Structure 1
Amino acid sequence: METVKFKTNIKCGACIATVTPFLNEAVGEGNWQVDLQDPKRVLTADNSTAEKVRQAVEKAGYKAESLN
């Protein structure tokens, strides 16, 4: 597994709260983060596959476009 990065439409703390249970289930708590200061709102996930992360974000109602 590897570190994967995505451009997302996650914009705020409330958005992060929404995706948290989905991403924690998919990649594990503490294995992901969203940089809200970056204009692309980059989501970085460690030790996971791009498809698994993308599916978790979309299941939460957001979009994730791979940057890798």
Structure 2
Amino acid sequence: MEYKIYVQNLKCGGCAKTITNKLNGIKGVSNLNIYVEDSLVILNCTEIILEKVKETLKKAGYPEDGEQNSLSSKAKSYVSCAIGNIG
């Protein structure tokens, strides 16, 4: 099933690369597309895997819209942004 997840802290291609690397590591995720300008992640997976996807995004610093966006999440996203732009 296709899911659309609007996330916070998605700012650039480096962020998108980090998210891609994290989510491609989850078995059962397919057809992954990230739209930086819309802060949107679209993917196919089961409902059970969706919870793992959301938790992975949150741990990487990209919580779903409406979730708490702590200073820690913002800092993680800046670090992963920088790493994504380097790699």
The aligned length equals 62
* Cα distance in 2 between the residues matched to 1:25 and 1:48: 15
- Confirm whether residue 47 of structure 1 aligns to residue 45 of structure 2: yes
- What's the TM-score once normalised by structure 2's chain length? 0.57
Instruction: Report the aligned-residue RMSD.
Output: 2.1
Q: Which has the larger radius of gyration?
A: 2
For CA contacts below 8 A with separation 6 or more, give which structure has more relative contact order: 1
Task: Give unpaired runs (5+ residues) of structure 2.
Answer: 67-87
More helix by share: 2
- What's the TM-score once normalised by structure 1's chain length? 0.69
More strand by share: 1
Q: Which amino acid aligns with 1:47?
A: C
Task: Give unpaired runs (5+ residues) of structure 1.
Answer: none
CA shift, 1:59, in A, is 2.3
